[in-house]
Each structure stands twice: as C-alpha cells, then as structure tokens.
Amino acid sequence: MSSAIWINALKEGKVTSNEVDRWAILKFADKLDALCDKLAITKLSDFHDTTDLEANLAPEEEDDEDLPDTYELMAEKGKWFSPRTGIEVMDSLIESLKAKPVRFGLITDHSAEVLTDLEECRLVLQELENEGSMFHLCIVM
C-alpha cells in the first residue's frame, strides 16, 4: 500500500477531489519542507490534511451504516486553505528547483517527478482559485 497526495476542494460545504496520485511530493515532503524553510515560505506539509487517512485507518465498526462519509468529515473538520497561498508556495518551489536543481532520491533521482507534481498542483490550485474553492493536500493510501 503506498501513500500519495490528492488535491481536495471545498466549496459551499461540499468536498470534491482531484484524485490524481502525487506520490513524489509526499515521499519527499521533508526535503521540500526544508527547501521551504530555506526560502522562508509556508511549508508544503502545512497544507496536508489527514482526515481521510485517519478515517480509513480507524478500526471498523460492525455497523457500517453509522460510519461517516470521509468527505463529510473533511468538510466539517478538515484543514482548508486559500488556493492563492498554495499557488505562491508552488511558484516559489518551482522557481527555486528550476534555478538550482535538487536531487530527490538516493539511488534514482526523482526530481522530474517532484517538479511535475508541483506544476500539476499549481494548475489545479489556479482552477480552484478561479472557482472560489478552498483546498488541502489530502494524504491517501
């Protein structure tokens, strides 16, 4: 079972998800956070939300009918952010990595995957900003 990031949106109390697995920005979250610190910007992991992960790892009850929908849980208890803030972080990371490439991985360099994830996230966040939604980076398994 591998983990990844999905971009979830909240608008008018409803959660939707861009269910594209972005594994690289989760796998290298610590290194990206260190780069954020160096750039004096919000850490990428500050946008992480674990509501879905926690709900899926919780022990299952015998009566599945009483289990809450994870989207409802996220809408109510999730951490949500302005896409503008996320776009600014993505832009800073992308600009920095293009100006001064960083290796992601010991055996295989995954810097291309990290950059692709960041660029794709930036595009999704721009769409969410245009439609007036909030966002978070949902950790999923």
In the numeric block, which tokens belong to residue 17?
A: 């998800």
Higher pLDDT, 13 or 52: 13
So where are the chain's domains? 4-140
pLDDT tens, position by position, 55-79: 766 666 555 555 568 899 999 989 9
Sign of the C-alpha dihedral computed for residues 125, 91, 25 and 75 taken in this order: negative
Segment 104-120 shows an average pLDDT of 97
- Cα distance between residue 70 and residue 73, in whole Å: 5
pLDDT at residue number 69: 81
Q: Does residue 48 register a pLDDT over 70?
A: yes
Q: Does residue 81 register a pLDDT over 70?
A: yes
Percent helix, strand, coil in the chain (nearest 5)? Answer: 55, 20, 30
Instruction: Provide the mean pLDDT of the chain.
Output: 91
pLDDT at residue number 52: 81
Torsion of CA 44, 23, 16, 92, to 10 degrees: 30
Q: Is the pTM of this model over 0.85?
A: yes
Segment 28-47 shows an average pLDDT of 97
